[in-house]
Amino acid sequence: MNPIESARLIEQLSWRYAVKKFDPSRKISAPTWDTIERAAVLAPSSYGLQPWRMYVIDDPSVRTKLRAASWNQPQITDASHLVVFARRVEITTAYVEDYIARTAKTRGVTVESLKGFRDMMVGQVNAPASLPGGSMDVYCARQTYIALGFFLYTAAALGIDACPMEGFEPAKYDEILGLRAQGYTATVLGAAGYRAGDDWLASQAKVRLPHHEAVVHV
């Protein structure tokens, strides 16, 4: 363990803002991008089921199509990297079984020893109203946003600009990327790269509720 100093974390998070205009000529280096991917995958999820996938859109022609399904927002094509965070459409018994098999292998235990854990998860995913949030859709989407948070935080910590984006047409994204056939559906976007020198928002002060309204002690 090698804890990071409070002041550095707060400095990086204060520097972060939702970039409206990226410099299209600047690319994130491969090792830095690799850190961002790996950090997002380390995000926790309910039971560890990871009911989401990051689609990193490298192909410029696909980016162009996605921009047309995103109210023509320039970040879609101009950011160094674009991630479509997609949640699982459903968590099947087979998906849980795969997870159990992976857990057994990773931890050097038997599948049988995980039966209680397996049965509990299978029971829940087959009765989606019993899931936290009350539906499969809500449940998987919420986990996806934890991963989005880890993605954004990592970028900020590394000094990489980013922008979370919800202004796009998920059904069109699903079609362009063929997500439904893979069992996923587009949920939220994360663009990353470097802010353009003339992004008007970069110089604006961050607006937040007074601390005592955002954080209440009981």
Contacts to a second copy from residues 26-45, by CB under 8 A: 31-32, 35, 37-44
State which residue, 10 or 111, has the beta carbon closest to a second copy: 10
Structure token pair of residue 141: 């989407």
Interacting residues of 53 by C-beta distance below 8 A, sequence separation 6+: 85, 86, 88, 182, 184
One-letter amino acid for residue 106 of the chain: T
Q: Which of residues 56-115 bind a second copy (CB under 8 A)?
A: 56-59, 62, 99, 102-103, 106-107
Q: Kindly tell me which residue out of 30, 197, 200, 206 binds a second copy, with binding defined by CB under 8 A.
A: 206
- Residue 119 within binding range of a second copy, rule CB under 8 A: no
DSSP for 63-113, written as a single string: HHHHHHTTTT-THHHHSSEEEEEEEES---HHHHHHHHHHHHHHHT--SGG
Q: Which of these segments, 20-28, 71-79, 136-144, 191-199, binds a second copy (CB under 8 A)? A: 136-144
**Per CB under 8 A, 216 contacts a second copy:** yes
Site for a second copy in 164-183 (CB under 8 A): 164, 166-167, 177
Q: Which is nearer to a second copy, 78 or 84 (CB)?
A: 84
Give the DSSP per-residue string, 114-152.
GHHHHHHHHHHHTSGGGSTTSSHHHHHHHHHHHHHHHHH
Tokens of 137: 């859709």
Cβ nearer to a second copy, comparing 78 with 190: 190
Buried-state track 111-126, b at ≥16 Cβ within 10 A, e below 16: eeebeeebeebbebbe
CB of 173 to a second copy, least distance (A): 11
Quick check: 207 binds a second copy (CB under 8 A)? Answer: yes
- Measure the CA–CA gap between 32 and 158, rounded to whole angstroms: 8
* Interacting span for a second copy (CB under 8 A) from 20-28, 47-55, 69-77, 191-199: 47-55
Asked if 153 touches a second copy (CB under 8 A), the answer is yes
Residue 78 vs 163, nearer CB to a second copy: 163
Place of tokens 């961050």: 206
| 148 lines the binding site for a second copy (CB under 8 A) | yes
